[in-house]
Amino acid sequence: MTDEGREPTTSNPFAGVVALQREVSRTAADAVRKSAVLDDRLTSMASVGVGETPSEVVYTENKLELLHYEPLTETQHEVPVLVVYALINRPFVLDLQPDRSVVRRLLEAGHDVYLVDWGEPSRLDASLGIYDYVERYIDNCVDVVRDRSGQDAINVLGYCMGGTLSTIYAALHPEKVETLGLMATGLRFEDTAGVLERWGDAAYYDPRTVTDAFGTVPAEFLAAGFALMDPVANYLSKYVHLYDRLENEDFVENFARMERWLSDGVDVAGEVYAQFLEDIYQSNRLYRNELEVGGELVDITNIDMPVLQIVGEYDNLVPNEASLAFNDVIPADVTAIQYPTGHVGLSMSDAVHRDVWPEVAEWFFEHSGAPSFADVIGEGIEEVLGYDVETDVTVGGVDEVEIRIAGESGHIEHGIVQRDVESIRRFVEDALGVEVSIDKEPDGIVVQVQGDETAGRVVVTGIGEAISEEIEEAIEETDIAAAIELEDVEGIGPTYAGRLRQAGIEDVVSLAATEPGTVAAAAEATRDQARDWVASARDLAERVERPGESGRHLETVDGIGPTYAERLRRAGIRRIADLADTDVDAVADAAGVSAEVATEWVERATAIERAVDD
Residue 350 pLDDT: 83
- The whole-number average pLDDT for the span 389-394 is 72
Task: Please compute the mean of the pLDDT values over residues 369-382 and round it to a whole number.
Answer: 75
- Residue 253: the pLDDT is 67
Please give the pLDDT value at position 613.
Answer: 54
- Yes or no: say if 309 and 334 are a contact pair by the CB < 8 Å rule: yes
Dump pLDDT digits (tens) for 540-579: 665 554 333 333 357 667 677 666 777 787 787 877 778 8
Domains 55-365 and 483-542 in one fold? no
Please state the rounded mean pLDDT for residues 207-224.
84
The more confidently predicted of residues 488 and 494 is: 494
Pairwise CA distance, residues 40 & 36, whole Å: 8
Q: What is the average pLDDT across 285-308?
A: 95
- At 593, the pLDDT band (50, 70, 90 cuts) reads confident
Look at 204 and 296; give whichever has higher pLDDT.
Answer: 296
* pLDDT tens digits, one per residue of 86-141: 998 888 888 888 888 999 999 988 899 999 999 999 999 999 999 999 999 999 99
Which residues belong to the active site? 160, 315, 343
pLDDT at 75: 74
At 414-453, the pLDDT tens digits run 888 876 777 788 888 888 888 888 887 777 788 888 888 8
Model confidence at 30, pLDDT cuts 50, 70, 90, reads low
Residues 223-270 pLDDT 10s:
666 655 556 555 556 666 666 666 666 666 667 666 766 667 788 999
Whole-number pLDDT of residue 380 = 84
CA–CA separation, 139 and 169 (whole Å): 8
Q: Is 471 exposed, middle or buried (0-12, 13-18, 19+ CB in 10 A)?
A: buried
Task: State whether the Cα torsion 532-533-539-540 is positive or negative.
Answer: positive
pTM of the predicted structure, to 2 decimals: 0.59
Query: Does 383 score more than 80 pLDDT?
Result: yes
Domain 553-613 belongs in CATH node 1.10.150: yes
Q: Report the CATH number of the 483-542 domain.
A: 1.10.150.20
pLDDT confidence of residue 543 = 56
Written in H, E and C, the secondary structure of 27-93 is HHHHHHHHHHHHHHHHHHHHHCCCCCCCEEEEEEECCEEEEEECCCCCCCCCCCEEEECCCCCCHHH
Total Cβ atoms within 10 A of residue 394: 17
- The span from the CA of 94 to the CA of 113, in Å, is 12
When pLDDT is averaged across residues 60-71 and rounded to a whole number, the result is: 95
What's the CATH fold of domain 55-365?
Rossmann fold (3.40.50)
Dihedral sign computed on CA atoms, order 300, 317, 362, 254:
positive
Q: How far is it, in rounded angstroms, from Cα 110 to Cα 155?
A: 14
Per-residue pLDDT band at 154 (split at 50, 70, 90): very high
Q: Which of 331, 417, 317 is nearest to 377 (CA)?
A: 417
Q: What does the domain layout of the chain look like in residue ranges?
A: 55-365, 371-480, 483-542, 553-613
**112 close to 81: Cβ distance less than 8 angstroms:** yes
Asked whether residue 220 carries a pLDDT value surpassing 90, the answer given is no
The pLDDT of residue 612 is above 60? no
CA atoms within 13 A of residue 255's CA, in its CB half-sphere:
21
